[in-house]
Amino acid sequence: MRITLKQIPEPSLLFGRGELSFDPKIGLQQGGLLSIDDGSVKTIRLGLVSVDTETSKIFSWLKRLGGWMIDSADNALRFPRFPGSQKAVHCRFEINETKHIKEISETEFLLALKTGSQTERFENLLQLYSSRIETLFRDGGPSCVVVGFPEEVATLRVANTRLSYQEQQLLQRLQDEATSQQMELFDKFTAEEKRVARELLPQAEDLLFRSFHRALKARCMNLHGAVPLQIIRGHTYEPDSNKQNDATKAWNISVALAYKSGEIPWQPDGLVPGTCFVGISFHHLKRRSGDLVYASLAQAYSTDTEPYAIKGESVPRDQTIGKQPYLKPEQAEAVISRVIEQYESQTGDGPSRIVIHKSSMFQAPEIEGFRRCLGDVSQVDLVSLSPTGLRLLNKGTREVSRGSFVEVENARTFLFTSGYVDWWKSYPGPHIPAPLELRRADGEDLERCAAEILALTKMNWNSAEGLGRTPITISFARQVGTVMTELKDEDDVNPFFRFYM
């Protein structure tokens, strides 16, 4: 067997004042947020909604973001100390204690939590939280609202009462089949790899159950004057938490709060301007007419605009090939036309190149439809990404490096988006790295596409680590798709990524 191995250079990230770094924590300290290009410190107003017994603890922890926090981890390259938000992200977070804190009394909370059926309790809590949050959506209000979740709320989910018994049984069967198929395909995968695999496929469970977290975000994101929400749980602000240490938590929440408040933390350096990267995914959806369908969704990213989502066409459950839903030519053309329209709305010009990612193979009808959108677009590249059980072992003890690009018999192509990280001098994973398999639709330059995918795995603004297993075009899909199950047929999808994180 002939195997060719190349190393794709780690993509640099661009920060404020033109600073470049592989590592967001270094780049942010040196240059600041990309959108704050003059080196100044920006004051960001936050709101806070919580049960009154937790308010002072959450408020005190958020105030600590202004100071130093020491990291106790062994690897100081990966886990540096947090120097305070003004030096870490060039932002100062402030909460107006008089205007921007809205409390839920413990009595109200316990009454809503314990009264009525499980579904009634879910709805009562949803109304209780959303009513407090909505009062902060006004001119002069905060740029982001921090919402404190007790564990009873953070883990709360209920069966979807909009489903009939027959629909529940159908979805359960679909879920069981999907689980069985995944176990068959990925039986040698680790738990983390199986999680990634599940994120790349439609999950019936998303429609079978409603989680409080996504229901609250769905209810609040389309309200007048809405701003993004940042959920905070006890293990973040409680001093005896045995989860991440304070410095790591401070880094992550500072980046997330800055982005949700309207800032752009960083962008990949070297991506060609005018290129629009699109992820196509499918999710289960119940329509008002009563039928269960697949809902298609497009997630788009470009260095010319912030990430956004477009609601696509509904796909009948029997519109599948190899048990995977697909788009007919007119559906594929329609969804990409909407992506281009939104791109033009945000940038004032159309993209010169479109790259479409999909977790399943591109089917002939989709290829036909996607290529119809050419017009002024000079090139359309179609690349599918899927988990695989391939493993490579180095001589010695060091894992294969992130960015390894592998071709087997000139027939199959793999990209290691996880692996040994040179600037950390370590591998941030518990098991042997597993790559994604890349497949072209028709003559795409997979090495070029792999370099772009590697860059797009560094676009998770919910973390200061800057590394992910999948590119933003795919990882964005899961967050948007689960929230879509809460929306009505006539509801628009809020396009901006910051509302889903």
CATH number of the domain enclosing 92: 3.40.50.2300
For residue 199, pLDDT beyond 60 = no
Domain assignment of residue 254, yes or no: yes
Model pLDDT, residue 189 = 53
Model pLDDT, residue 47 = 97
For residue 169, pLDDT beyond 80 = no
In the chain, pLDDT over 90 holds for what percent of residues?
53
For residue 201, pLDDT beyond 60 = no
Q: Give, to the nearest 10 degrees, the angle between helix 165-185 and helix 191-199.
A: 130
Domain assignment of residue 6, yes or no: no
Per this entry, what is the length of the chain?
A: 501
Least confident of 226-240, 297-311, 333-347, 381-395: 381-395
Task: State the amino acid at position 486 in one-letter form.
Answer: E
Q: For the whole model, what pTM was predicted? A: 0.89
Q: Identify whether the C-beta of residue 8 lies closer than 8 Å to the C-beta of residue 438.
A: no
Radius of gyration of the chain (CA): 23
Owning domain of residue 138:
36-160+207-260
* Total structural domains within the chain: 1
Two structure tokens written together for 391:
């493993």
Domain assignment of residue 59, yes or no: yes
Q: Give, to the nearest 10 degrees, the angle between helix 212-221 and helix 472-484.
A: 90
Model pLDDT, residue 1 = 72
Domain assignment of residue 62, yes or no: yes
Domain assignment of residue 20, yes or no: no
Contacts for 110 with CB less than 8 Å, ≥ 6 apart? none
For residue 202, pLDDT beyond 80 = no
Question: In whole angstroms, what is the distance from residue 334 CA to residue 370 CA?
Answer: 9
Higher-scoring residue by pLDDT: 285, 154: 154
Domain assignment of residue 102, yes or no: yes
For residue 316, pLDDT beyond 60 = yes
Question: In whole angstroms, what is the distance from residue 18 CA to residue 85 CA?
Answer: 20
Tell me what the mean pLDDT of segment 29-53 comes to.
93
**Comparing C-alpha atoms, which of 339, 271, 353 is closest to residue 308?**
339
